[in-house]
């Protein structure tokens, strides 16, 4: 999981830029007129999004029902017309709105902030556009994501604080600076790991439940397991080198822990280093 800064893009400008990408025929002009008419109501909802994202209350927004593209969202503007602002006029539209999309997509240095493991391939709507069309182009609702996190989340509707995944722009630092993912070593060939959530006991029940849901919703057990395999060779070499110099299991334990301490909280490498350091057999050079 990676914490991101809020996009430094004025939301009103994004709305204006999308409107400039609309066709100049009569249909396009009607669409612009309708959107301009509801602009102030839309901005009120966008401001409410900031407030509710900060207090983890995004579940209080009323979700649109499935399908029925023509249902009204604000006055005469339909669900489909809001969604199109994103699909047609931001993603495929003119240079300025597409730049906004590109800036958001690139804002995580290529790594998906939802899992912290896979490469960013897309932009995810935190509140899915199919159910919350009013936020289809709202930049604070747009998060860079990998394919599996994006698809895994689908068009879920959040019904409580606990069901909301961590939001890379809004979630508090303690989620990113504290270890809450742990692992046990499984003595398989090759070695593998069972990852699990172990939140600090002094966290609120909501926070504890929220990260458990985040872990399950993005299938982090599978992601971490696949990611872990790439680090095994280097860790085994470290263990061999300590034992080869005449060190014992305590020396291996200390070496692995100091290696882990230099990695980011909850990163796969840190989690498996702690797990291996706590396993006496591993530190004694078995399973190498």
Q: Which residues bind Zn ion (CB under 5 A)?
A: 112, 114-115, 118, 146, 149
Which CB, 31 or 218, lies closer to Zn ion? 218
Which CB, 149 or 228, lies closer to Zn ion? 149
Which CB, 93 or 165, lies closer to Zn ion? 165
For residue 199, the tally of other CB atoms under 10 A from its CB is 20
Cα 275 → chain centroid: 25
Q: Where do the DSSP E strands lie in 167-207?
A: 181-186, 192-197
Q: Which residues does 219 contact at the CB level (< 8 Å), separation at least 6?
A: 148, 152
- Minimum CB separation from Zn ion for residue 187, in Å? 29
**Nearest-angstrom CA–CA distance, 163 and 143:** 18
- Minimum CB separation from Zn ion for residue 111, in Å? 8
- Minimum CB separation from Zn ion for residue 176, in Å? 15
Partner residues linked to 122 by β-bridges: 145
- Minimum CB separation from Zn ion for residue 124, in Å? 9
For the purposes of burial, counting CB atoms within 10 Å of the CB of 186, is it exposed (0-12), middle (13-18) or buried (19 or more)? exposed
- Minimum CB separation from Zn ion for residue 114, in Å? 5
Which CB, 118 or 213, lies closer to Zn ion? 118
Which CB, 16 or 111, lies closer to Zn ion? 111
Which CB, 61 or 215, lies closer to Zn ion? 215
Question: With left for phi above 0 and alpha for psi between -120 and 50, is residue 246 left, alpha or beta?
Answer: left
Report the first-to-last Cα separation within the chain, whole angstroms.
Answer: 30
Which CB, 11 or 143, lies closer to Zn ion? 143
- Minimum CB separation from Zn ion for residue 223, in Å? 7
- Minimum CB separation from Zn ion for residue 200, in Å? 24
CA distances, 248 to each of 29, 67, 245, 254, 285 (Å): 77, 63, 9, 10, 9
The length of the chain in residues reads 288
Cα 40 → chain centroid: 30
**Nearest-angstrom CA–CA distance, 114 and 165:** 8
Which CB, 193 or 224, lies closer to Zn ion? 224
The per-residue b/e assignment along 34-56, b for 16 or more CB within 10 angstroms, e otherwise, is ebeebeeebeebbeebeebbeeb
- Minimum CB separation from Zn ion for residue 150, in Å? 8
């Amino acid at each position: 999981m990676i914490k991101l800064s809020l996009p430094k893009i004025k939301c009103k400008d994004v709305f204006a830029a999308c409107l400039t990408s609309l066709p100049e025929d009569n249909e396009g002009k009607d669409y612009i007129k309708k959107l301009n008419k509801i602009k102030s109501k839309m901005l009120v909802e966008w401001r409410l999004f900031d407030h509710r994202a900060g207090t983890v209350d995004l579940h209080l927004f009323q979700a649109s029902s499935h399908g029925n593209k023509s249902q009204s969202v604000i006055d005469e503007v339909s669900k489909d017309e809001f969604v199109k602002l994103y699909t047609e006029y931001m993603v495929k539209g003119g240079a300025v709105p597409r730049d906004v999309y590109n800036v958001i997509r690139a804002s995580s240095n290529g790594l998906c902030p939802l899992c912290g493991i896979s490469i960013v391939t897309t932009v995810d709507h935190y509140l899915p556009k199919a159910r919350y069309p009013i936020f289809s182009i709202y930049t604070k609702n747009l998060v860079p994501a990998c394919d599996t996190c994006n698809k895994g989340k689908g068009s879920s509707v959040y019904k409580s604080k606990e069901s909301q995944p961590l939001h890379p722009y809004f979630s508090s630092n303690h989620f990113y600076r504290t270890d809450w993912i742990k692992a046990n070593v499984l003595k398989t060939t090759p070695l593998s790991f069972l990852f699990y959530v172990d939140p600090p006991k002094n966290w609120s029940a909501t926070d504890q439940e929220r990260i458990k849901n985040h872990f399950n919703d993005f299938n982090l057990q599978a992601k971490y397991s696949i990611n872990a395999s790439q680090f095994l060779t280097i860790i085994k070499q470290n263990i061999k080198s300590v034992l080869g110099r005449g060190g014992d299991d305590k020396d291996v334990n200390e070496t692995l822990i100091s290696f882990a301490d230099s990695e980011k909280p909850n990163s796969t490498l840190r989690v498996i280093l702690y797990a291996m350091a706590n396993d006496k057999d591993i530190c004694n050079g078995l399973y190498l």
